[in-house]
Amino acid sequence: MTTILHIDSSARPGRSGEQAHGSHTRRLTAHFVARYLQLDSGTKVIYRDVGAQPPSPVTGAWVHAAFTPPPQRESWMAEALAQSDALVDELLQADIIVAGVPMYNFGPPAQFKAWLDNIVRVGRTFGFDRSRPGEPYWPLLADAGKQLVILSSRGDYGYGPGQRLEGINHVEGSVRSVFRYLGVTETYGAAIEYDEFADERLARSIADAEHATARIAEGVAAGRVPAERRVA
């Protein structure tokens, strides 16, 4: 059975098209999941709304606990890592990670960054051994067959590869880098642009992004995602 980890991180409640001032990324992630379930109704969906309930940020106690070998951890360390452990458990169960990540000031929302910081865990999602010369770090999810779908939105336009604002788009690249570090390299994406223009260009961008999102869902289900939807 396929498992989807469905993550929303927008601060906006609701979905655009259904609620005034609703979230475009929530709209796209819901669109992906609905289309995938049409194709495979037996799919399990784990939902995590980090926009409404952000994970706690990493603290000094968290770092101390995470880098202490499990047999040596004190009782307070288990408490410090409890939320992170739950988030990692969800990630490990997932075959497909569908992440709604709007652009906030050219990068991901802080609440999504907090989620990333909690799932990058030594001994669970990446390995570290200082005695390995030249390769002290290695990905632990490399052979898990996981796929990542990044569905974004931005107020301006032209943030795609080769476009006018590509150089200040730190959303897809930063998220992709973290997952690649963990061993997840199959990444696909779509985005809505022109949000702040609120005109026919936004309407067209929404329609195009929904179409692209459905094609990604169909491609992932069939094992053949269209090349133009792959995020390099």
Q: Which CA distances in Å does 100 have to 23, 108, 156, 161, 172?
A: 10, 10, 18, 19, 11
| CA atoms of 40 and 150, how far apart (whole Å) | 20
174 is in an annotated binding site: no
1 is in an annotated binding site: no
| CA atoms of 65 and 121, how far apart (whole Å) | 11
| CA atoms of 101 and 171, how far apart (whole Å) | 7
153 is in an annotated binding site: no
Evaluate whether 35 touches 96 at the Cβ level (below 8 Å).
no
152 is in an annotated binding site: no
10 is in an annotated binding site: yes
Evaluate whether 152 touches 172 at the Cβ level (below 8 Å).
yes
Which residues carry a binding-site annotation? 10, 103-106
Residues marked as binding for FMN? 10, 103-106
